[in-house]
Structure formats: C-alpha cells, structure tokens
Structure 1
Amino acid sequence: MKKKVDVILIQNNLTIGKRGSVINVARGYAFNYLIPNKIAEIATNKKIKHIQMFENIAIQQKETSNIEIKLLKDNIQKIDSISIYKKKGENNFIFGSITEKDITKWINKYTNLLINKIQIKTLEIKLIGVTHMKIQINPKVNISIPLKIIPTNI
C-alpha cells in the first residue's frame, strides 16, 4: 500500500502551497483533513492535464499582453510633444484647465491610439508653457511626454 498520495490544492494555503499546485502528502493527511475540508482533491491524470492547460493559457495571455504593452509603448514614444491651444487670461493663466480628457482626445486624433484617461498622470495645469506629463501603460511602465500649452488670440 502506498504511503503517499498526490493531491491538487483547491484553495490557497499558507503552509501547503498555492491553488492549483500538485503536492505529494501522506494518505491520512489527504483523506482525513485535506479532502473532507475541501482544501484539496485527488490528482488524476485528467485533472493534472486540465491544470496544465490553464497554466499554458495564462502564459500565452501574459506573452500577448507583454507584446501589446511593448507596441503601445513604442507608439507612444514616437510622440515628440503634445500641443494644446487654450485661450489666454491674465498673468499667463488659461481659461479653464487642461484635463486628461483633452489629452486623450489629442492622442486619439493624431495617433489613433486608445488610451484610458486613468492612465494619464498630470497635475492640474492652468499656466501657459511646457510641462511634463506621464502616461502609465502598466504599473511598471511609465512614459514622460512634454505637454505644450499654447495661447490663442481668439
């Protein structure tokens, strides 16, 4: 009789391992604790194959996501600067302010890139001149682009 059995974890467990991992444990531990408490289930060839299939899908999705992020980053880095025209007030102030929505419209109009306004990180802009803004593609990738606010005479 075997003393150990393979089980697949159904839940994350701090002492045993992550959900979906196959571990080799004692029969008594598996049948008296893990399986009745629905922490694990017996590992069969089909279940192991099923888990590996989902792991492969996750790896492929991560690779395609990385490729999309790289393409978006390359396209955004091609932008030299963003120029937005606003009506000038007193002391180099503009009427209103530049919002993330204005910047996303400019990027969509001139580059056909779809960027969510949540990805744009700017301070409140109310002066004419050049400031820098950041576009956050993902938590690890930030791109800084100069933002030129140009006064109009109208």
Structure 2
Amino acid sequence: MKVILKQDLDELGFEGDVVDVARGYVRNYLVPRGIAVLATPQNIKVFELQKKKIEVRRLRAKEEAVQLKDRLEGTGLSFAQKAGEEGKLYGSVTAMDIAEGLEKKGVVVDRRKILLDKPIKTVGDYKVPVRIYPGVTAMLQLSVAPEEKAAAE
C-alpha cells in the first residue's frame, strides 16, 4: 500500500517520500499516529505544492544536526560507578544514563538516538555513536571510572 510520509522515519524515508508498506502497518501504526497519509492523487498534489517547504525544513534540520554533532564530539562524559577489583561494574551505564549526563551539560539528545548495543559493564574509555539525523552520526567520548572509596574507612 502506498503512503506519503508526513515526517522522517529512519526505517522508511524522509518527509514527502512516497513509500510502499504493508496494509497492517499503515492501518495500525502510520495513519493513526499521523506519520503518513494515503497516496491518493489529491494528497500527492498537495505534497508536490509543499515540496519546497519540506526541502528547506530538511536542509535546516541537517544544518542543526551538524552543529549538534560538533558540540557532541567536543563534549566528553565521565561516569563514576561502583566496580569490583577486575573493573566490572556492579551496575551498568545505559543509553538513558548517557542522555541524562548530556542533558546536565546542556545538550538534549533522545536516548533512542544513542546507539549503544548493550549497557556498558566494565571500566574504561568508550566511543559511543549518536545518530542525530540520517547521515549525521557523532562519536561521543565516554569514560567510565571506578567510584572512589570513602576516606573514612
């Protein structure tokens, strides 16, 4: 079933694209959430008229994504976690922790954009990819250190 996307989706395409997807996906997900409309001749004409606005919006979003990429690559995060003697953490550092750490530094990133395969469970330095916009991915420097023990012991 052909639909016109009203917003960018990583899996399908960009706003204004005509894509062919399964009927159930259209009926149960895309249309009810306002992500797409059916590709009728009338809707196609409407989107053709809006094509320039969509292109300007897309260019502006890409420029903002490149600026955010530069900010992220200039920002380093460090976490202090309780760890055992071999450097294994008692907990873990997740994408949510990274997003909260970035937010404290004034950079707002959706945690789903942080491409962390599995939570970090060992002490060390990491490079974590952050997909900001399709085609724009930043590499975030991340340092996980053992938490210092209290001096009162």
TM-score by length of 2: 0.62
Residue type of the partner of 1:56? Answer: K
Q: Which residue of 2 aligns with 1:93?
A: 88
Q: How many residues align?
A: 111
Instruction: Indicate yes or no: 2:108 matched with 1:84.
Output: no
1:5-44 to structure 2, matched below 5 A, reads 40=41
CA change 1:146–1:71 in 2 (3 A) is: closer
**Percentage of matched positions with identical amino acids:** 21
| Structure 2 unaligned spans of 5+ | 5-16, 19-39
- Higher-strand-fraction structure: 1
Distance 2:143 2:125 in 1: 4
Distance 1:77 1:126 in 2: 23
| Structure 1 unaligned spans of 5+ | 1-10, 13-17, 20-38, 42-47
1:59-70 to structure 2, matched below 5 A, reads 59-70=55-66
Q: Which residue of 2 aligns with 1:145?
A: 140
Distance 1:117 1:51 in 2: 31
CA change 1:82–1:40 in 2 (3 A) is: closer
Deviation at 1:118, TM superposition (A): 0.6
Deviation at 1:146, TM superposition (A): 2.4
Residue type of the partner of 2:54? Answer: A
CA change 1:127–1:54 in 2 (3 A) is: same
CA change 1:102–1:51 in 2 (3 A) is: closer
Deviation at 1:145, TM superposition (A): 2.3
For the 8 Å contact 2:62–2:133, the answer to whether it is kept is no
Distance 1:73 1:130 in 2: 19
Question: CA RMSD for the aligned pairs?
Answer: 2.6
TM-score by length of 1: 0.61
Q: Which residue of 2 aligns with 1:55?
A: 51
Structure whose alpha-carbon radius of gyration is higher:
1
Instruction: Indicate yes or no: 2:104 matched with 1:116.
Output: no
